[in-house]
Each structure stands twice: as structure tokens, then as C-alpha cells.
Amino acid sequence: MRRHQVPQRWFLFFSLLVFTPALAQDSARCVGGKPSAPIRIEVFSDFQCPACRSFYLETMRSVLADYADAGKVCVVYREFPLNQHPYARPAARYAHAALQLGVRQWALVADALYLSQDRWSLDGQLEPVLASALSKEDLDRVKKLAAEDAVETVIDRDIALAKQFQVTSTPTFFISANGKTEKITGVIQYPILRRYLDHLLNP
């Protein structure tokens, strides 16, 4: 890792970065922003993971609002359900199915899953959580899409990509900008990530 010309305030943050080859620009859909944005953030996440809950609610929702909506960042969420979380994969199926309806539906489902994580993690009762977030019409469509084999294929592809890039825990995310990609593992608080994104946008 290069350490020259690194401002002091970035020292601790840069200590978490691992420079890595860029992830393949596949057909994964931005859940916020556009593919042409100057920064791309790809998050490998598990809906039953408490750290992922904190990262999404306390950091990534703000990134989506402040940077993705402004066209500065494309945010991609990839599914990486961990084996110790028995309900993570069903949750991932619903989330991906919701994304097929649109980014608004994905955000509604992601919000509901993370906000109610402590409840459905106990018994796997996901449908009441979805029903509280979606219209009946959208809920019916999400349930139908979630049952299709194509959704399982997408999740398996995300898992294979995670293994290719040595993702072993969640959340792990990759920031691609200015021809470089950095891998970061763990939760980063929004004020720190915000300053780093601003640094990338205005080097």
C-alpha cells in the first residue's frame, strides 16, 4: 500500500483499505445512482448480519441519499448469505425479487428487513415484514419472482464472485474510482466514508 502524500486524517481509514483488481462490470443493477457515476460501491451483505444492518442503516442509506441520488456514486448490493444465518438466503431472494420491480421496491424491502431484523431472525417469518413495506400487488409479484430459479442463480453468482475476491465476512465492500478499486471489510461510519468519497471526487 502506498503511503506517500496521504493526509494524516486518512491514516486510520487507509489502514483498512486493500487495493485489489477491479470487480468485473457485469449486469448487476445499481440500487442507487447510475452505472456512469464516477464512483462505484459494491457491498457484499447478509440481511441477517447485525453488522450489515448497522452499515446499511447508519452509513449506506446516507450514501444513497447524498451521493447516489446526486449522480456521484453507483451503489450495487450483492448477496452473500452466511452459512450461520439460516434465514439470510430467503431474505436475499425477496430483496433481489424486489429489485426486479424497481429500486424503490428494493429500498422498501431492504429498509424493512434491516429495521425488523431482530424479529424475523428468530423465526424466519419474512412475509409479514414484506407486507408491512409493499403494496399487496407488489408483494404478490415479489413472492412470485422470489420463487423462480433465476433468483437462486443470481445469488449463487454473487457468492462465487465473493469467493473470487476473497470475501469471508460481511459487510465487505469495494470502492472503485479513478481506475483503482479498494476492498474494505467491516462497518465504516458515514462521516468517515463521506470524507473519503469527497476526497475521491476532488483529489
Give the predicted TM-score (pTM) of the model.
Answer: 0.87
Strands of the sheet with 18-20, listed across from one edge: 18-20, 180-185, 172-177, 39-45, 73-79
Which pLDDT belongs to residue 26?
52
User: Going from the N-terminus, what domains does the chain have, and what CATH number goes with each?
Assistant: 15-198 (3.40.30.10)
| Cα dihedral 98/100/104/107 (nearest 10) | 50
Whether residue 12 has pLDDT greater than 60: no
Judged against a pLDDT cut of 80, whether residue 169 lies above it is answered with yes
CA 37-40-161 angle, 5° bins:
140
Q: Is the pLDDT of residue 41 over 70?
A: yes
The mean pLDDT value of the chain amounts to 89
What mean pLDDT do residues 2-18 have? 44
